[in-house]
């Protein structure tokens, strides 16, 4: 497989949070029901206490096989030999942990490598930004947020009291599309933010490098700010909101979700899920936000994830919370997390592909570009069967 030479913008991101708690530990409503996610404890991790980035150790999911219909490649019109050849090639990459292929709603290929297992839950890093995009869309549908074109200051007014006019024009859409305009150097700025007492203030106080909506600057600061907005608008912490409106309907149980010192859950990083759970989320979007007859995510939110908004360089574009690139002659959306956490949607073939990789601090990660696997093995296996 081709090594992925990513634009600098594609690296994992940063965080921020509020001076007064935005539904911090004492005010956020939490519960342990349905999926079994305990939002009062899920953030706790002694070895990473007080740090922005985590050591990314593997957690264990107690029910990893829940909710899938399993089939063979032949049963969904895929050539097993072509697909298997690609899976073997992927398995030779030292960082790859898992590879899953779903077609017509069936899990038809599932491989684990280098000691990984089905019940292993790992940090999906920035792939969780795509989930946050879903949560914001749900919040609009539920009436907690008026529109993604609402200005950010409407929800966090204390941080924009003395802001210049351009910052007061900044909207949630700008945060979702990485066009907010703040100066930000991914993988460096977060080191500065981490040292501040109030992470949200540290982000909002950064200099504005571009007029909002005019330039792409990848920033996990943007998505962490969205988490703060979600908590303020809904009266629920982001973990509980996700549990209630997204995880429970899909049968997803997160094993860990970080949060900042003020109690805002990590917006687009430090969320731990299994590959099968990533595949569920991918299938949800492939099916236009519907799951088992229920419209879990608004159709408009899904549509926004698939339409390129801004060019990001090296053949990549960014939509709302999702990356977009050309694969097999078609524009396809994908969730992309640091170190090779992927959810690829191939709508024309009715296929979801999930690949995860090892990002433990003890491992030297090599992020693999999946173009060869997708074009020469997944799509070719569909064409080979007619």
Pair 61, 120: CB distance under 8 Å = yes
pLDDT, residue 2, reads: 36
Strands 290-291 and 316-318: unpaired
Report the pLDDT value the prediction gives residue 262, as an integer from 0 to 100.
86
Token match 């050309």: residue?
326
- Structural contact between residues 318 and 177, judged by C-beta atoms closer than 8 angstroms: yes
Q: Distances from the Cα of 102 to the Cαs of 73, 121, 181, 208, 346, in angstroms?
A: 9, 19, 37, 42, 10
pLDDT by residue (tens digit) across 175-226? 999 999 999 999 899 889 888 888 899 999 999 999 999 999 999 999 999 9
Residue 167: burial class (beta carbons within 10 Å; 0-12, 13-18, 19+): buried
Q: Where does residue 321 fall: left (phi above 0), alpha (psi -120 to 50 degrees), or beta otherwise? A: left
Average per-residue pLDDT for the chain:
89
CA 328 vs CA 114, 228, 306, 325, 346: distances in Å: 29, 38, 16, 10, 9
| Strands 96-103 and 351-357, bridge-based pairing | antiparallel
Q: What is the dihedral of CA 193, 215, 167, 189, to 10 degrees?
A: 10
Q: How far apart are CA 21 and CA 237, in angstroms?
A: 11
In this prediction, residue 65 carries a pLDDT of 64
- The reported pLDDT for the residue numbered 54 is 80
For 98, 194, 260, the CA distances from 238, given in Å and listed in that order, are 27, 20, 12
Pick from 218, 222, 135, 176: which is nearest to 321 by CA?
176
- pLDDT digit of tens for each residue in the chain (386 aa)? 433 333 333 433 332 223 334 444 333 443 334 567 889 899 987 666 667 778 889 999 987 667 899 999 999 999 999 999 999 999 999 999 999 999 999 999 999 999 999 999 999 999 999 999 999 999 999 999 999 999 999 999 999 999 999 999 999 999 999 999 999 999 899 889 888 888 899 999 999 999 999 999 999 999 999 999 999 999 999 999 999 999 999 999 999 999 888 888 999 999 999 999 999 999 999 999 999 999 999 999 999 999 999 999 999 999 999 999 999 999 999 999 999 999 999 999 999 999 999 988 777 888 889 999 999 999 999 987 65
**Alpha-carbon span 107 to 146, nearest angstrom:** 37
- The string of pLDDT tens digits covering residues 260-285 is 888 889 999 999 999 999 999 999 99
Radius of gyration from C-alpha coordinates of the chain? 20
Q: Centre a 10 Å sphere on the Cβ of residue 171 and count the other Cβ atoms it contains.
A: 20
The backbone torsions φ and ψ at residue 353, rounded to the nearest 5 degrees and listed phi first, read -120, 130
pTM for the predicted model, two decimal places: 0.91
Measured in whole angstroms, the distance separating CA 168 from the mean position of its chain's CA atoms is: 27
């Amino acid at each position: 497989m081709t090594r992925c030479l990513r634009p600098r913008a594609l690296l994992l991101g940063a965080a921020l949070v509020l001076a007064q708690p935005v539904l911090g530990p004492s005010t956020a409503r939490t519960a342990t029901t349905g999926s079994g996610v305990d939002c009062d404890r899920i953030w706790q991790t002694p070895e990473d206490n007080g740090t922005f980035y985590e050591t990314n150790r593997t957690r264990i999911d107690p029910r990893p096989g829940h909710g899938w219909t399993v089939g063979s490649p032949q049963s969904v019109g895929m050539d097993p030999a072509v697909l298997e050849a690609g899976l073997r090639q992927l398995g030779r990459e030292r960082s790859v942990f898992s590879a899953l292929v779903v077609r017509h709603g069936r899990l038809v290929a599932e491989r684990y490598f280098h000691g990984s297992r089905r019940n292993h839950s790992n940090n999906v890093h920035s792939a969780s930004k795509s989930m946050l995009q879903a949560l914001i869309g749900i919040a609009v549908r539920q009436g907690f947020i008026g529109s993604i074109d609402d200005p950010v200051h409407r929800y966090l007014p204390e941080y924009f009291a003395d802001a210049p006019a351009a910052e007061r024009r900044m909207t949630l859409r700008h945060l979702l599309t990485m066009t907010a305009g703040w100066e930000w150097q991914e993988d460096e700025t977060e080191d500065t933010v981490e040292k501040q007492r109030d992470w949200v203030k540290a982000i909002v106080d950064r200099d504005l490098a571009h007029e909002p909506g005019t330039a792409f600057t990848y920033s996990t600061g943007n998505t962490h700010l969205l988490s703060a907005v979600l908590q303020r608008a809904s009266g629920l912490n982001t973990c509980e909101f996700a549990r209630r409106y997204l995880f429970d309907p899909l049968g997803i149980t997160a094993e860990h979700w970080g949060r900042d010192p003020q109690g805002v859950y990590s917006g687009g990083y430090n969320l731990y899920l299994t590959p099968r759970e990533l595949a569920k989320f991918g299938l949800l979007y492939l099916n236009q936000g519907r799951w088992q007859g229920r419209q879990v995510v608004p159709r408009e939110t899904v549509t926004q994830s698939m339409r390129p908004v801004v060019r990001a360089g090296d053949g990549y574009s960014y939509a709302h919370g999702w990356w977009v690139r050309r694969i097999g002659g078609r524009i396809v959306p994908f969730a992309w997390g640091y170190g090779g956490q992927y959810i690829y949607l191939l709508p024309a073939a009715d296929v979801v592909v999930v690949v995860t990789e090892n990002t433990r601090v003890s491992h030297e990660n090599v992020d693999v570009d999946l173009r060869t696997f997708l074009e020469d093995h997944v799509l070719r296996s569909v064409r080979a069967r007619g």
